Structure 1
Amino acid sequence: MRIVDLITSAGLTGFYFDDQKAIKLGAKEDGFTYRGEPVTPGFTAIRQKGESISIMLVLEDGQVAYGDCAAVQYSGVGGRDPLFLAEEYVPIIHQEIAPKIMGRELSCFQELAQEFDRMIQSNGQRLHTAIRYGLTQAILDAVAKAQHRTMAEVIAEEYNTSLAVEPIPVFAQTGDDRYLNVDKSIIKGVPVLPHGLINNVKTKLGKEGRILLDYASWLRKRILESGPSGYSPVIHLDVYGTIGLAFDDDPKGMAIYLGELVEAVEPFKLRVEGPMDAGSRKGQIQALKALRNELRTRNIPVEIVADEWCNTLEDIIEFVDAGVCDMVQIKTPDLGGINNSIEAVLYAIKHGVGAYLGGTCNETERSCQVCVHIALATNPTQILAKPGMGVDEGIMITHNEMQRTLALLRAKKNLSIGR
């Protein structure tokens, strides 16, 4: 089966692009927007609509496979590629990719994905991570359609993995509406919650972490009072380095505080993502190592999740090899081709580190669906419900794609057994 055409369409994501530099410099919120001028190149406002591009590959039998190019909320900073605007990148897709991909045989996802993920443009540069992300989604879908199989089955066969037989735990992120959206998550029985978006010391963590401690205590009480019998979710808090800021990056002070958080959420398991931001990959690894040693000395049962400075496949391998975290977040758009996300999950699992197949609120329903297939083929510890910050939509898209695919896989298995 060959590819005979490439079509694109500009779209919207489930959230927004935010100029992180401008916000850190003190941009003031005004309703759902921000006052002031943007700082990061490419931005025309501090908060602007998230944009995506759908890449559709037409197969010679008329089937159409597609994937969505999308980038993270805080684009253009921290070593990431520039702001991803459809008007700017649609022509690049047609000029650089279309001539090379049309006519290609769809016999192997892994080889074709690696080729285009590593492709060098005529200007000598690699493709934008968002393009590599969406293009490889489309390639996976195309190979699956050519073989009349699910995307999960293609991955499992090519990477020699076992398909999941039960749902992968879904992680719901509440955004700033961290009380109401917890109630929604509890009602729907989400296995991992709430994220919490704890990205400000003064307003969200509090002096000596008291605001977050109060929130953690409320969270525990809310689950016990409102959750169904036997409901025992993992508490996963993303603190964006604020604990380090509040405790001057002192491992002892941070460990003691994390011990208080553990007590606040008992009997539920606690994961804390990004406890500090040391400013570099090397610094972050050293800081996490010092904190983890302190936690072990004090026998504090909290799982530490690496996020800051752990962006690419190479970063993830280095963090895993250093043994400085219990889990790594695999931010799928930042890794470019989904072949890299697949390899990242498998590498973490092989080396005894939890794999969190994450991403961003600023993706689309299509990129989420493809990530579900990656999860079902690689069995990560958890998968992020995305896109958006509304909870309901992300949970629905993630949960329903997983249930549909599991039902299809069970039906295929039963059919083969009955033959």
Structure 2
Amino acid sequence: MRIEAVRATPGVAGFFFDDQRAIKQGASRDGFTYEGEPVTDGFDRIREAGESLLVELRLGDGRWVRGDCAAVQYSGAGGRDPRFRADEFVSVLEGQVADVLRGRDATHFDENVTAIEALPSREGGRLHTAVRYGVSQALLNAAAHATRGTPTDVLATALGTEPATEPVPVFGQSGDERYTNAEKMLVKGVPVLPHGLFNSADAMGADGDGLLDYLDWLSTRTDDLGRPEYEPRFHVDVYGMVGELFGPPYDRPEVTDYFAALERAAAPYPLQVEGPMDAAGRADQIHAMAELREALADAGVAVDVVADEWCNTFDDVRRFVDHEAADVVQIKTPDLGGVQRSARAVRYCEGTDTRAYLGGTCNETATSARACAHVALATDAAQVLAKPGMGFDEGYMIVTNEMRRTVARMDGRATGADAAERRDAVRRDPDPGRAGGGRR
């Protein structure tokens, strides 16, 4: 089945673009927005509406399949591509990208995404990561439609993996509503929570006591609201604020004692802390993370550290893993470009002491979130982010239901829904989307 046409339409994303540097430098809140001038290139204001670019491919049978170009909330920070403006890339999608894809066999996912990754941008270098991200989703869905399988099947075939047989643990993010949304997560039994958004001195507290108090509260509320069998993992993102509090070096007792206090506050639940510091560059960040991780191990502090800042590309993931600089790496899907690159980054963690967290951003779309659910299943990642948005409920529903739906479909095939049965089902029911699915 051939790809016949490409269409691109500017759309909205699930959250906002924020100038992280301006916020960390003390920009004051003005209601939902921020006062002051932006300091990161590409921003006109500190907080701007999120954008997406809706990609559609028309296949030979007339079917349109989709993918959404999206970029992270904190674009332009930590070595990431600049803030994404959707209307600037419509002509790129309908011109340069369409010229490469038109006439290609939709079943050849690996070849098609490789061709897109090789395309240069107008300024030289590669196309914006958001563009490669969205087009790869559309190509993944095209291959799934053409082969009458799931996107998980397509990725597993391309990677040579055995997909997960159960949904991957979902990680909920609370946004600024770190108390109300955490309680929602506890009631729903979310496996990993709550993110917390500790991205400012106000949230962290003068001596880090704000985070300590929050973890103590979270542990207590988990006991209050969780079912008896509920055993969640706590995961908080501090956006480099531990580094702002203490500074390097990170192997001194003052730092490890603070992490020991965090461990006690979270007990009896395991804790992982994302982005403890934000160094001046990639090499410095890797050194600082490795230094902290080794110091915590020597001190017997059972808090895992999660790499985020300066861990953007596949090569970055490989460097953090090779230098043993993190217990967990966030694979920030829009920053890697095509979804196949995120999948390979997850696989790179196999057989190491580093777990793969398939992340992303609140500033994505439902379409990109569903695509990432298939990446998580195909690679059996350690955890996957609930996205898009910061309201929690919607993103958790989208990602969880996509995985459950896909696992049920795979279970149905494994328990006797062979090709003949599926053909008979299609004859009985002219809607092939309902044939052969579900648990039997």
Map 1:19-418; keep pairs closer than 5 Å: 19-121=19-121, 124-201=124-201, 203-249=202-248, 250-252=250-252, 253-416=254-417
Q: Whole-Å Cα distance in 2 between the matches of residues 293 and 10 of structure 1?
A: 46
Aligned residue identity for 1:278: A
* Percentage of identical aligned residues: 49
In the other structure, the counterpart of 2:15 is 15
Is the contact between residue 136 and residue 338 of structure 1 (CA under 8 Å) also seen in structure 2? yes
Aligned residue identity for 1:86: A
| Further displaced range: 30-39 or 308-317 | 30-39
Distance of aligned partners of 1:224 and 1:371 in 2 relative to their CA distance in 1, 3 Å threshold:
same
Deviations 1:94-148 (Å, cap 9, x if unpaired)?
Answer: 1211111111112321221122112124653321110000001111111111100
Deviations 1:247-298 (Å, cap 9, x if unpaired)?
Answer: 2233222211111111111111111111112221111111122212211111
SS state at 1:251 partner: coil
| Further displaced range: 138-147 or 272-281 | 272-281
Is the contact between residue 96 and residue 122 of structure 1 (CA under 8 Å) also seen in structure 2? no
Is the contact between residue 42 and residue 83 of structure 2 (CA under 8 Å) also seen in structure 1? yes
Q: Whole-Å Cα distance in 1 between the matches of residues 251 and 86 of structure 2?
A: 44
Distance of aligned partners of 1:94 and 1:145 in 2 relative to their CA distance in 1, 3 Å threshold:
same
Distance of aligned partners of 1:73 and 1:404 in 2 relative to their CA distance in 1, 3 Å threshold:
same
Q: Whole-Å Cα distance in 1 between the matches of residues 102 and 90 of structure 2?
A: 16
Unaligned runs of 5+ in 2: 422-440
Q: Offset of 1:79 from its aligned partner?
A: 2.7
Aligned residue identity for 2:378: A
Q: Whole-Å Cα distance in 2 between the matches of residues 287 and 400 of structure 1?
A: 38
Aligned residue identity for 2:115: E
Is the contact between residue 169 and residue 383 of structure 2 (CA under 8 Å) also seen in structure 1? yes
SS state at 1:350 partner: coil
Aligned residue identity for 2:219: R
Q: Offset of 1:416 from its aligned partner?
A: 4.2
Distance of aligned partners of 1:121 and 1:243 in 2 relative to their CA distance in 1, 3 Å threshold:
closer
Q: Offset of 1:334 from its aligned partner?
A: 0.5
Q: Whole-Å Cα distance in 1 between the matches of residues 190 and 53 of structure 2?
A: 30
Distance of aligned partners of 1:104 and 1:308 in 2 relative to their CA distance in 1, 3 Å threshold:
same
| Further displaced range: 79-88 or 138-147 | 79-88
Is the contact between residue 182 and residue 193 of structure 2 (CA under 8 Å) also seen in structure 1? yes
Unaligned runs of 5+ in 1: none
Q: Whole-Å Cα distance in 1 between the matches of residues 270 and 9 of structure 2?
A: 43
Is the contact between residue 133 and residue 338 of structure 1 (CA under 8 Å) also seen in structure 2? yes
Q: Offset of 1:37 from its aligned partner?
A: 3.5
Aligned residue identity for 1:242: M
Q: Whole-Å Cα distance in 1 between the matches of residues 405 and 262 of structure 2?
A: 37
| Further displaced range: 22-31 or 341-350 | 22-31
Is the contact between residue 117 and residue 136 of structure 1 (CA under 8 Å) also seen in structure 2? no
Q: Whole-Å Cα distance in 1 between the matches of residues 136 and 379 of structure 2?
A: 17
Q: Whole-Å Cα distance in 1 between the matches of residues 245 and 36 of structure 2?
A: 27
Aligned residue identity for 2:138: A
Q: Offset of 1:373 from its aligned partner?
A: 0.4
Q: Offset of 1:186 from its aligned partner?
A: 0.7
Aligned residue identity for 1:11: G
Q: Whole-Å Cα distance in 2 between the matches of residues 402 and 370 of structure 1?
A: 10
Q: Whole-Å Cα distance in 1 between the matches of residues 21 and 216 of structure 2?
A: 33
| Further displaced range: 385-394 or 402-411 | 402-411
Deviations 1:54-106 (Å, cap 9, x if unpaired)?
Answer: 11111001122110000011123333222211211111211211111111112
SS state at 2:415 partner: helix
Distance of aligned partners of 1:16 and 1:122 in 2 relative to their CA distance in 1, 3 Å threshold:
closer
Runs of 4+ in 1 over 6 A off after TM superposition: none
Q: Whole-Å Cα distance in 1 between the matches of residues 216 and 90 of structure 2?
A: 48
Q: Offset of 1:25 from its aligned partner?
A: 4.2
Q: Offset of 1:206 from its aligned partner?
A: 1.7
TM score, norm. by length of structure 1: 0.96
Q: Whole-Å Cα distance in 2 between the matches of residues 263 and 79 of structure 1?
A: 34
Aligned residue identity for 2:282: R
Aligned residue identity for 2:60: E
Is the contact between residue 114 and residue 339 of structure 1 (CA under 8 Å) also seen in structure 2? no
SS state at 1:107 partner: coil
TM score, norm. by length of structure 2: 0.92
Q: Whole-Å Cα distance in 2 between the matches of residues 302 and 24 of structure 1?
A: 24
Aligned residue identity for 1:258: F
Is the contact between residue 96 and residue 121 of structure 1 (CA under 8 Å) also seen in structure 2? no
Q: Whole-Å Cα distance in 1 between the matches of residues 376 and 392 of structure 2?
A: 19
Is the contact between residue 79 and residue 310 of structure 2 (CA under 8 Å) also seen in structure 1? no
Aligned residue identity for 1:407: A
Is the contact between residue 6 and residue 93 of structure 2 (CA under 8 Å) also seen in structure 1? no
| Further displaced range: 387-396 or 269-278 | 269-278
How many aligned residue pairs are there? 418
Distance of aligned partners of 1:197 and 1:137 in 2 relative to their CA distance in 1, 3 Å threshold:
same
Q: Whole-Å Cα distance in 2 between the matches of residues 125 and 248 of structure 1?
A: 35
In the other structure, the counterpart of 2:428 is none
Q: Whole-Å Cα distance in 1 between the matches of residues 119 and 336 of structure 2?
A: 14
